[in-house]
Amino acid sequence: MAGSKVKQDMPPPGGYAAFDYKRNLPKRGLSGYSMFGIGIGIMVFGYWRLFSWNRERRRLQIEELEARIALMPLLQAEHDRRTLRMLRENLEEEAIIMKDVPGWKVGESVFHTDRWTTPLTEEIFNLRPREELLHKRFGFMWYV
Amino acid sequence: MPFVDIQSRLGINVDRWILLQSGEQPNKRPARCHAFEKEWVECSHGIGQTRAKKECQQEFEDFYECMHRQKTHRRLYAIRQQRDKMIKEGTYTPPAHHTGKGNVDP
């Protein structure tokens, strides 16, 4: 092996150029404290927006309640008129239906007192189709 | 002790509110049978159970009826049965507002 010129893979004459091999961990970006600060700042801004909107919603809710109070006499009067009308119709139909039944007193109250007793929904909707009673009882629900 | 009303003697009201529908209610909403119960309690107050059973029979019956509405339901059922019988015989036709096709005014 001595002296023979074999082609080997050798570095170029003058050696390789220099390259950086040291660690490169540059300090960049925000510090931890300022990132916390930005996060907390965004949260505080969010809370402020939430609280002021909640105050506004409370004012709107109060306005809705006031509107309900203002309308209540009208709605109650309408409802009462409707109830009385339906009870009157039921009474007249009962007189027609039960005229052949022996011992039946039309419009007899089941109570011993003669105070006004609020009629049940079943009493009001007795002679109507069942869907109307179900719609009155379960048609609109405030919660599910 | 049943013969010593401790709560009235001490002037406190610890649990008497839960015993009656006519007692203190949250949001001041009355029960459905408040009037009947109040009548019955006022009638039978202080006269003892034996006398109350005899003398307050009507108030008690009204209160019971308000709570359970058995007589009301029986009466409504009788009317409905008779109406269906008459419809089957053909002697009765329900008016338009009772068949769902009448105009629904408020």
pLDDT digits 0-9 by tens, B20-60: 888 888 888 999 999 999 999 999 988 989 999 999 999 99
Taking CB atoms and an 8 Å limit, are A98 and B82 in contact across chains?
A: yes
Contact between residue B7 and residue B13 where contact means Cβ atoms under 8 Å apart: yes
Query: What contacts A36, CB < 8 A, 6 or more positions away?
Result: none
B56/B45 Cα distance (integer angstroms): 10
Dump pLDDT digits (tens) for A25-46: 999 988 999 999 999 999 999 9
Written as six digits, the tokens of B103 are 């105009």
The residue among B22, B42, B41 whose CA lies nearest residue B32 is B22
B85 CB within 8 Å of a chain A CB: no
- Domain borders along chain A are 40-100
Written as six digits, the tokens of B44 are 């039978």
In chain B, residues 34-73 whose CB comes closer than 8 Å to chain A = 35, 39, 58-59, 61-62, 65-66, 69, 71-73
- Estimate to the nearest angstrom the gap between the alpha carbon of A74 and the chain centroid: 28
B83 CB within 8 Å of a chain A CB: yes
Closest residue of A to B100, CA-based?
A129
Task: Give the closest-approach CA distance of A94 to chain B in angstroms.
Answer: 7
% chain B with pLDDT above 90: 53
A109 CB within 8 Å of a chain B CB: no
The reply to whether ipTM tops 0.85 is no
The residue among B85, B83, B90 whose CA lies nearest residue A96 is B83
Query: Rounded to the nearest 5°, which phi and psi values hold at A141?
Result: -125, 135
Q: pTM value?
A: 0.70
